[in-house]
């Protein structure tokens, strides 16, 4: 989800370009045209059609669609559950990353490998897998289907890797000497963690948590079976949108889709802004 901006190689490259203005690699203007046309047809035009339809009846129509009681209830459920999921991920994800970096135990490599499993598994499989344990024929007699805890468990499953994988590399790089200095100055473990380790990890934790939240609000496949789709209780926005399409209310579906996209974009833009500010701060400290 992160944009990998190619580093611009500065004045040297610029000078070379001036010397060889014809050479633009193996793709010239035609290639650029094809790429832009491709992205427009596949990505931009559908989203443009979505946005235009959402505002077909003007701002008022859009506002009425997303503030209709059922839509609002679905948005509340989705955002509420996603916040819970993001917070659990922030704590447990950091803890798992910690154990994977600082602890040694047999089978650690296997544990490290299975963290990525939720990303590799199709979401509908995640749904079925969790239902086999927490569904109607639960062997341990825990029944979470059609409850909000069921939604939380499903979303925790699919978002597990985000925080773990963003904190892990940072934790590997953290300077042990600062921690030892703090300890030698009489700081307890908790103080050292809170004052030294946590500030270093904070950007990674916040980044991973934000990505988990953005994923959770739009999730569909993993909650469709375990969630139960009960209006006002466990119906998430994506399920409500699908219902609006089924009863042929495309304008409402489009409006809710735009609202969902807006929440995701604000989250991701906020994260990018935050990441850039942190990077600038680090640059200044050096």
Partner 1 sequence: MRVSRFTQLSLRTIALGYLLILLIVPLVLILWRTFENGIGAFIDSISTPAAISALHLSLLIVAIVVPVNVIFGVVTAIALVRGRFPGRGLVQGIVDLPFAVSPIVVGVALILLWGANGWFGGIESLGFQVIFGLPGMVIATIFVTLPFVVREVEPVLVEIGDEQEQAAATLGASRWQTFWRITLPAIRWGLTYGVVLTVARSLGEFGAVIMVSSGFPGVSQTLTLLVHSRYIDDHNTFGAYSAATLLMGIALLTLLLMTILDRKRENA
Residues 58-77 that bind partner 1 (CB under 8 A): none
Residues near 257 by beta carbon (within 8 Å), at least 6 away in sequence: 50, 54, 241
Nearest to 258 by CA among 13, 57, 63: 63
Using CB under 8 A as the binding rule, whether residue 160 contacts partner 1 is answered as: yes
In whole angstroms, give the CA distance from residue 218 to residue 209: 15
Residue among 184 and 286 whose Cβ is closer to partner 1: 184
The secondary structure of 193-235, three-state, reads HHHHHHHHHHHHHHHHHHHHHHHHHHCCHHHHCCCCCCCCCCC
In whole angstroms, give the CA distance from residue 169 to residue 204: 9
Residue among 5 and 286 whose Cβ is closer to partner 1: 5
Hey, which residues does 24 pair with through a beta bridge?
A: 26
State the minimum distance, in angstroms, from the CB of residue 7 to partner 1: 7
State the minimum distance, in angstroms, from the CB of residue 129 to partner 1: 4
Residues near 7 by beta carbon (within 8 Å), at least 6 away in sequence: none
Among 55, 83, 145, 221, binds partner 1 (CB under 8 A): 221
Residue among 90 and 260 whose Cβ is closer to partner 1: 260
Among 193, 231, 233, 275, binds partner 1 (CB under 8 A): 193
Among 15, 172, 180, 232, binds partner 1 (CB under 8 A): 180
Among 209, 234, 235, 257, binds partner 1 (CB under 8 A): 257
With CB under 8 A as the rule, give the number of residues binding partner 1.
98
Using CB under 8 A as the binding rule, whether residue 192 contacts partner 1 is answered as: yes
Query: Which 3 state secondary structure label does DSSP give 26?
Result: strand
Looking only at residues 112 through 151 of this chain, which bind partner 1 when binding is defined by CB under 8 A? 113-118, 120-125, 128-134, 137, 139
């Amino acid at each position: 989800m992160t944009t990998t901006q190619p580093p611009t190689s500065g004045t040297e490259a610029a000078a070379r370009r001036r010397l060889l203005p014809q050479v633009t690699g193996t793709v010239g203007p035609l290639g650029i045209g094809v790429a832009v046309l491709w992205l427009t047809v596949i990505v931009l035009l559908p989203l443009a059609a979505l946005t235009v339809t959402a505002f077909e009846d003007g701002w008022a129509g859009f506002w009425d669609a997303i503030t209709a009681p059922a839509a609002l209830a679905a948005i509340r459920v989705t955002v509420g559950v996603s916040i819970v999921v993001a917070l659990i991920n922030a704590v447990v994800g950091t803890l798992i990353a910690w154990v994977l970096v600082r602890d040694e135990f047999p089978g650690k490599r296997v544990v490290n490998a299975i963290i990525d499993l939720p990303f590799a598994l199709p979401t509908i499989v995640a749904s079925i897998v969790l239902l086999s344990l927490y569904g109607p024929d639960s062997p341990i007699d825990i029944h979470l289907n059609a409850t909000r805890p069921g939604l939380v468990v499903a979303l925790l499953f699919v978002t597990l890797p985000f925080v773990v994988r963003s904190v892990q590399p940072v934790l590997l790089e953290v300077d042990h000497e600062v921690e030892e200095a703090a300890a030698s100055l009489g700081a307890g473990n908790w103080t050292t963690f809170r004052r030294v380790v946590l500030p270093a990890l904070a950007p990674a934790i916040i980044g991973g948590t934000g990505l988990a939240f953005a994923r959770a609000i739009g999730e569909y496949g993993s909650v469709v079976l375990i969630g139960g789709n009960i209006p006002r209780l466990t119906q998430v926005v994506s399920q409500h949108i699908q219902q609006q399409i089924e009863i042929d209310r495309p304008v409402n579906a489009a409006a809710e889709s735009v609202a969902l996209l807006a929440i995701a974009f604000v989250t991701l833009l906020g994260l990018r802004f935050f990441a850039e500010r942190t990077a600038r701060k680090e640059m200044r400290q050096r």
